[in-house]
Structure 1
Amino acid sequence: MPGPGGRSVYPKTPRRLKQIEAKRSAILDAALGLFSCNGLHGTTVEQIAEQAAVSKTNLFYYFASKEEVYVDVLRRLLDQWLAPLRALERDSDPVKGIADYIRRKVEFSRSHPEASRLFCLEIVQGAPLLRRELETSLKELVDAKAAMIREWVAQGRLAPVDPHHLIFSIWATTQHYADFAVQIDALLDTGLDDDRFAEEAVRNIQRIILDGVRIRPPA
């Protein structure tokens, strides 16, 4: 029995819910690649449906509009993008914890380059559809981690550093390898798909960042 918008109002069994989630995920995966290349306005519903191997009508069973697909893609990638920061824990050794965070961020840029580029594109455009998420989930997490870093500094476990500028610096350096991959390839004829270069990037970023926050013995 169809409900408003043509969607079924029959109770959904666990198996059916799993099927729905799998189909929604496939649509979001297809949309991510298109949005990261063409943006929201340069991507059509027909392109998303074709890429996801569903009909346009079927796509609208799972999503009310192209804009809803776009926002769900952004929410999912924001959750993935924040996962490395969530893993930075208070009881970590500060230097090791930050080094591990840098590695996880580079690995994210390596394994999710399209997600990183789409997130960058949304931010550059003023985040019209992601602003609320930035002001809530992102801000809450960053504020919590900034407070943790301030504690490390107060405890003498890190050199004095502004936590937000530290986090911004890590974001800028690690995401560069995904967002500006074409530029890196033009300059060096390589990129994060090369294991050696990826490890070299991690170690150099770690050295640059950690040398600025590591406690040094008095001269």
Structure 2
Amino acid sequence: MATVRPKTRIQQKNTDAILKAALVVFSDNGFRGATLDQIAGEAGLSKPNLLYYFPSKEAIHVALLSGLLDTWLDPLRDLDPNGDPVEEIMGYVLRKLDMARDYPRESRLFANEIVQGAPRMLDTIQGDLKTLVDEKAAVIAQWVRNGHLAPVDPYHLIFSIWATTQHYADFDVQVRGILRPKGDSHFEQARAHLDLMFRRLLTVV
């Protein structure tokens, strides 16, 4: 088996530059509208140099989405079966909202992939993502059975968390157009609203 050599500092720097540039180009133009020339130009590299690191536009897109999904799922992985159920879920909700604020381009990139039918990520969604969601849904279901949470469907709870937090990234123009916030002040209002809404849903009465 061939040994995979670690990337040099320059190789890692160029790889990071390509992925950062690709995020901008794909977010602005979609997968179909983006070109290798645009990505290379944004990264400050020649097209032949870019192709040394990635053989195709699709390879860049897959690498970008894979890294994004891994980061996006970290808060769900951190859901602790031994923690306080309501606080664990509320921590997840608020971390997801923070990510919508801090990584809006990444959220929109992933949303665009899903809207297109996930042609480059379907195997991951049906594989690793499903496995993780199944695992955490089982934890939530056990909390419900133990009487620590009000009766909720674990899967639809997770979907609701995704929908209500990522909305602030994926529909940022609409939210800002309606609220006209100063900077990101609306995220504090969203935190208060989501905290109230989900706590009422989850708390046993």
Q: After the TM superposition, which residues 20-169 of structure 1 pair with which residues of structure 2 at under 5 Å, given as runs?
A: 20-169=11-160
* Identity across matched positions, percent: 48
Larger-Rg structure: 1
Q: How many residues align?
A: 204
- TM-superposed deviation, 1:213: 1.3
- TM-superposed deviation, 1:17: 3.2
Partner of 2:179: 188
Which of the numbers 173, 189, 203 marks the counterpart of 1:200? 189
Secondary structure in structure 2 of the residue aligned to 1:39: helix
TM-score (norm 1): 0.89
Query: Structure 1, residues 24-74: CA drift from partner, whole Å, max 9, x if none?
Result: 121111101111121111001000001011110100000010110011111
CA distance in 2, matches of 1:53, 1:182: 29
TM-score (norm 2): 0.94
Query: Structure 1, residues 159-180: CA drift from partner, whole Å, max 9, x if none?
Result: 1111001000000000000000
- TM-superposed deviation, 1:18: 3.8
CA distance in 2, matches of 1:22, 1:103: 32
Tell which deviates more after alignment, 66-75 or 199-208.
199-208
Query: Structure 1, residues 93-124: CA drift from partner, whole Å, max 9, x if none?
Result: 11111111111001100110000001111101
CA distance in 2, matches of 1:197, 1:128: 34
CA distance in 2, matches of 1:95, 1:203: 15
Secondary structure in structure 2 of the residue aligned to 1:160: coil
Secondary structure in structure 2 of the residue aligned to 1:47: helix
CA distance in 2, matches of 1:104, 1:94: 15
5+ long unaligned stretches in structure 1: 1-8
5+ long unaligned stretches in structure 2: none
